[in-house]
Amino acid sequence: MLLHKQQKILFSRLPSFLELLKLHTPLKEKAIKINVWRNHGFETLVPLMQPYLATRNISIDFQISSYDDSFSFAEYSHASIEILWLDPKVLLSQSSSGRWVNWLSERINFLRRLSKSPIILATWAESGIDVKKITEVVDSVRYTFFADLSELCCEYSINLKDSRNMSFAASAISRFAQVIIARKLACHWISALLLPPIKAIAIDLDNTLHKGILGEDEISGVLLTDEHRALHHKIKKIQKQGIFIALISRNEYSDVKKLFSIRKEYPLRLEDFTEIEISWDEKSNAIKRIAESINISTDAIIFVDDNPGELFEVNKNLPHTHIILAHADASITERVIDYYPGLWRWNYSEDDYKRVNDFKANKDRNLFLSKSQDLNKYYSSLEIKLKIYLEPFLYLDRLSDLSNKTNQFNLALKRYSEIDLFNFLNSKDTEVFGIGLNDKLSDSGIISLLVAELIDHDLMIHEVCISCRALGRKLEDAIIFTAIKNMRIFKECKKVIFSIKYGKRNKPAISWIEKHSNEINAYAHDVHIIDAENIRNYSLPKGLKIIKT
Amino acid sequence: MKKIEIETRVLSVLKTILGVDLNSKSLREEIDEWDSLKHIDVIFSLEDEFDIRFEEDIVNDIVGIVSLVDSIHILLNKK
State pLDDT tens for residues B23-57: 999 999 999 999 988 999 999 999 999 999 999 88
Best of A17, A25, A40, A180 to disrupt the B interface by mutation (most B CBs within 10 Å)?
Answer: A17
- CATH 3.40.50.1110 at A4-194, yes or no: yes
Q: How far is B3 from chain A (nearest CA, A)?
A: 21
> Quick check: A175 contacting B, CB < 8 Å?
yes
User: In the Cβ-directed half-sphere of B11, how many Cα atoms lie within 13 Å?
Assistant: 14
Of the listed ranges A29-43, A269-283, A303-317, A462-476, the least confidently predicted one is: A462-476
Confidence class of residue A43 from pLDDT cuts 50, 70 and 90? very high
Compute the radius of gyration of chain B from its Cα atoms.
11
Cβ atoms A334, A227 nearer than 8 A: yes
Say if the Cβ atoms of A44 and B40 lie within 8 Å: yes
Pairing of strands A200-203, A144-148: unpaired
> Quick check: A41 contacting B, CB < 8 Å?
yes
Best of A62, A67, A174, A175 to disrupt the B interface by mutation (most B CBs within 10 Å)?
Answer: A175
- The yes-or-no verdict on residue A522 having pLDDT over 80 is no
Chain A residues with CB under 8 Å of B44 CB are 17-18, 44, 175, 178
What φ, ψ does residue A242 adopt, rounded to 5°?
A: 95, 15
Q: Do domains A4-194 and A200-338 have the same CATH topology?
A: yes
Cβ atoms A329, A227 nearer than 8 A: yes
Say if the Cβ atoms of A19 and B43 lie within 8 Å: no
Cβ atoms A527, A500 nearer than 8 A: yes
**Domain containing residue B43:** 3-78
Confidence class of residue A293 from pLDDT cuts 50, 70 and 90? confident
pLDDT value of residue A440: 81
Percent pLDDT > 90 in chain A is: 66
Burial class (CB in 10 A: 0-12, 13-18, 19+), A94: exposed
Compute the radius of gyration of chain A from its Cα atoms.
26
> Quick check: A43 contacting B, CB < 8 Å?
yes
Q: Which amino acid is at A298?
A: T
> Quick check: A472 contacting B, CB < 8 Å?
no
**Nearest CA among A341, A358, A334, A326 for reference residue A469:** A358
> Quick check: A50 contacting B, CB < 8 Å?
no
Say if the Cβ atoms of A178 and B41 lie within 8 Å: no
Say if the Cβ atoms of A18 and B45 lie within 8 Å: yes
Q: Considering CB atoms only, which of B39, B48, B54 is closest to A17?
A: B48
- The yes-or-no verdict on residue A519 having pLDDT over 80 is no
Q: Indicate whether this model's pTM tops 0.80.
A: no
Q: Considering CB atoms only, which of A18, A41, A44 is closest to B49?
A: A18
**Residues written for chain B:** 79
Say if the Cβ atoms of A168 and B55 lie within 8 Å: no
pLDDT value of residue A482: 94
Say if the Cβ atoms of B56 and A16 lie within 8 Å: no
Say if the Cβ atoms of A44 and B17 lie within 8 Å: no
Chain B residues with CB under 8 Å of A22 CB are 16
Q: How far is A46 from chain B (nearest CA, A)?
A: 11
pLDDT value of residue A27: 66
pLDDT tens per residue, range A524-537 = 568 899 999 999 99
Q: Considering CB atoms only, which of B37, B45, B59 is closest to A21?
A: B45
Closest-CA residue of A relative to B16 is: A22
Q: How many domains is chain B built from?
A: 1
| Average pLDDT of every residue of chain A | 90
Say if the Cβ atoms of A21 and B17 lie within 8 Å: yes
Q: How far is B25 from chain A (nearest CA, A)?
A: 23
Residue A319 CA to chain centroid, in angstroms? 22
**Nearest CA among A437, A492, A500, A436 for reference residue A464:** A500
Q: What angle do CA A116, A39, A132 make, to 5 degrees?
A: 70
**Domain A373-548 maps to which CATH number in 1.20.1050.10, 3.90.1150.10, 3.40.630.30, 3.20.20.140?**
3.40.630.30
Confidence class of residue A246 from pLDDT cuts 50, 70 and 90? very high
Say if the Cβ atoms of B36 and A175 lie within 8 Å: no
Q: Is the dihedral of CA A352, A195, A193, B38 positive or negative?
A: positive
Percent pLDDT > 70 in chain A is: 97
Confidence class of residue A256 from pLDDT cuts 50, 70 and 90? very high
CATH number of the domain residue B51 falls in: 1.10.1200.10
The domain covering A200-338 belongs, at the CATH homologous superfamily level, to HAD superfamily/HAD-like (3.40.50.1000)
Closest-CA residue of B relative to A163 is: B56
Chain B residues with CB under 8 Å of A21 CB are 16-17, 41, 45
What b/e string do you get for B13-32 counting C-beta neighbours within 10 Å, with b at 16 or more? bbebbbeeebeeebebeeee
Cβ atoms A193, A118 nearer than 8 A: yes
Confidence class of residue A520 from pLDDT cuts 50, 70 and 90? low
What whole-number distance in Å separates Cα of residue A276 and Cα of residue A297? 17
Q: What is the domain partition of chain A in residue ranges?
A: 4-194, 200-338, 373-548
pLDDT value of residue A126: 78
How many beta-carbon pairs below 8 A join chains A and B?
A: 45
